[in-house]
Amino acid sequence: MPFQPDLTSAPVHAPATPISLIGVPTDIGAGRLGAAMGPDALRVAQLGPALSELGCDVHDLGNLAGPANQRKPRDAEHGDLRNFGEAVAWNQAVHDAVHGQLAAGRMPLMLGGDHSLAVGSISAVARHCRDTGKRLFVLWLDAHADFNTPDTSPSGNIHGIPVACLSGLGPRELTHLAGFAPALGPQSLCQIGLRSVDAQEKHLIKTHNIDVFDMRAIDELGMRETMLRALAPLAGCDPSQTHLHLSFDVDFLDPEIAPGTGTTVRGGPNYREAQLCMEMIADCGRLASLDIVELNPALDVRNKTALLAVDLVESLFGKSTLMRVPPAATA
């Protein structure tokens, strides 16, 4: 008798995955206003109900509070960065909220906000992993490397330096949020989708030996092989002792399908490539925390990018065309 597929969807994650939505409404680190509206755009796109429909236990904690974006000029006293004090305050708030949810046994899902906030979220995850003895691995989906330092940043915008800060390069107020530095070693980071990298960033990526799959690599290898190689460091790891963090910048996506961001770069992954990326992350069964950043509704078209982001996050949590074997059965 020929194989008859079951066309119902089933979550890859455990049916009651406890997820806490943490809104961070600020564009303090960005060059354009608008990302502060990202959390509510994701809520309008029904992120919480979509995850609940997949069997997750979703708590929406609302939005964190922090200083307003006064669009200050570059500050020579603080590395020639813009809005430095405000960015530190927001990242401290993110760190505390994310760490609190991890300590409570819940999966934090940070709704940004610009990508500078990943300093706070990943520092919290790094602290949690050190406290619990877990291995941390970060996938960074982005069109940009975000590996400038205060000395190399052409704009002074802090959303361009989070990877450097997490690698221990930058002002102590940001590099030591976890209580130690670097929060993230090069063996714990993989960047995917890069296609706009400054000259100094190229040098830092090389000298720090960061694992990177830029768009040329994706074009040559295909998304399937790219993800197999990106996730290879997790092969054989005990899922209960491994923490996979995904930092998802929506400018990772091609602007033809995701116009709602202030940092678009042509030539990104298309819809099916992005879906496969998320599906393969889901299949590995290690996802334990997530950022969604740089969504700018002011530049979007009828919330198109937020709706796409929700669609992709559904795939991260197991939405698929066919029934699939849970990772626990194959680990």
Q: Between the CA of residue 307 and those of 47, 258, 259, what are the distances in Å?
A: 8, 10, 12
The pLDDT of residue 115 is above 50: yes
**8 A C-beta contact, residue 27 and residue 33:** yes
pLDDT digits (tens, 9 = 90+) for 225-272: 999 999 999 998 898 999 999 999 999 999 999 999 999 999 999 999
What is the value of pTM for the model shown?
0.92
| Predicted pLDDT of residue 78 | 80
Domains of the chain from N-terminus onward: 18-329 (3.40.800.10)
- Of 128, 144, 243, 245, the catalytic one is 144
Measured distance CA(74)–CA(79) in Å, rounded = 8
Q: Residue 12: pLDDT above 50?
A: no
Determine whether 146 is an active site residue: yes
Task: Give the per-residue pLDDT at 327.
Answer: 52
Of the candidates 209, 262, 217, 75, which has an alpha carbon nearest to the alpha carbon of residue 150? 75
Window from 73-77, 127-131, 145-149, 168-172 with minimum mean pLDDT: 73-77
Is residue 114 part of the annotated active site? The answer reads no
* Residue 2 pLDDT > 50: no
Q: Is the pLDDT of residue 207 over 50?
A: yes
Which entry of 95, 99, 128, 159 is annotated as an active-site residue?
Answer: 159
pLDDT tens column, 17-66: 999 999 999 999 999 999 999 999 999 999 999 999 999 999 999 999 99
Q: How confident is the model at residue 325 (pLDDT cuts 50, 70, 90)?
A: low
Catalytic residue list contains 115: yes
Q: What is the pLDDT of residue 326?
A: 54
Question: Is residue 249 annotated as a catalytic residue, yes or no?
Answer: yes
- Catalytic residue (one of 27, 173, 294, 300): 294
Annotated catalytic residue, options 251, 273, 291, 300: 251
Kindly tell me if the per-residue pLDDT of 218 is higher than 70.
yes
